[in-house]
Amino acid sequence: MECGKYQSQFNDYLNYQSQFNDYLDGELSPRERERLQSHLRKCLSCYRKWNSLQKTKELLSRLPELNPPSHLSAVVVARLKERRLRRLIGPFAYLPRWLSLGAAAALLLVISLTLWQVLLPSFSFRSLLSGQNDTFTMNATPSEPAAKFATTREGAQTPVPVMVLRVKDFSRADRELQSMLRSFSGPMVEEMEPIGALNSSSARLIDLRVPGQHFSHLLHELHKIGHLDQSQVEIHRLANPQRKKAIAIRIVVVGIRSDVEIRHLKH
């Protein structure tokens, strides 16, 4: 018998078919189950459909279980640790490796240079290159090494940078320097000490203590008086506006003709 063939049995056919899934899942009541089983014994069409559905479910339940790779949990734990590390180093983690290494190297360089400048402010890289040390002689002619540092009159061990202004017209330059320093005394020049014994008609030495923040201004003004010698580079290096500490400096104004006199001073 095939129940789906006749219109009169069509409702029964649909009803039985709708029960197949519940039957498969064991969700039919004993009475419904018995009724369906008895129908399946009689109706070939329904039996075929039921059999096919049952086979489908059986195929699914018999699918082989795969074993996950043995390293799976280890990989996940490693990824979790890596993720934690990335969170610790934050945004740098997502930069390319060469960029983060470069940034780190640059940062290290800046820090070490800053420390060098703070701890050894008088050190000059040029002196390293030219093989000179920190004991300099006063410069009289441009061909000779520049006189950059001298000791204070009190015989203190700290070297004082020396700025040599070689001028053609000594008397005029000396007048200008004196008036400029007078106008600056106070906030810009803390202490001014002319070294009388060494003053002459063609040379003058002055020791100054200048607050760090005004040092650049002073250099600028000194430029107007006469040209600076080779020591200017090292002296300019001291002109850091952030420095609060006063800077001691010795200024030597010398007429070009009195080079011999300067050589004398050296000794």
Partner 1 sequence: MEPAVLAQQNRFAKREEEQLLVERCRQGDRDSFAQLMRLHEKQIYNFTYRMLGDEEEAEDLTQDIFMAAFRGIRRFRGEAKFSTWLYRIALNQTRNRIKYLARRNFFAKQSRRAHYKEESPWENPEFLADTNPTPEQWTLTKSMATQVQECLNQLPPQTRQILVLRDVQGFSYEELSEMLSLNPGTVKSRLHRARAALQQCLADKVE
Which residue ranges make up the site for partner 1 (CB under 8 A)? 21, 25, 52-53, 56-57, 59-61, 63-69, 72-77, 79-81, 83
- Decide whether 56 or 112 has the Cβ nearer to partner 1: 56
Q: How far is the CB of 210 from partner 1 (least distance, A)?
A: 59
Q: How far is the CB of 45 from partner 1 (least distance, A)?
A: 15
Rounded Cα distance, 165 and 171, in Å: 13
- Decide whether 18 or 135 has the Cβ nearer to partner 1: 18
Q: How far is the CB of 78 from partner 1 (least distance, A)?
A: 10
State the residue for tokens 């709708």.
18
Rounded Cα distance, 189 and 182, in Å: 9
Rounded Cα distance, 212 and 239, in Å: 7
Residue 30 DSSP SS3: helix
Q: How far is the CB of 49 from partner 1 (least distance, A)?
A: 9
- Decide whether 19 or 231 has the Cβ nearer to partner 1: 19
179: enclosing H helix or E strand? helix 170-184
- Decide whether 52 or 183 has the Cβ nearer to partner 1: 52
Q: How far is the CB of 14 from partner 1 (least distance, A)?
A: 13
- Decide whether 80 or 108 has the Cβ nearer to partner 1: 80
Sign of CA pseudo-dihedral 152, 212, 237, 199: negative
User: In 3D, which of 204, 196, 148, 156 has the Cα closest to residue 176?
Assistant: 204
Rounded Cα distance, 236 and 229, in Å: 12
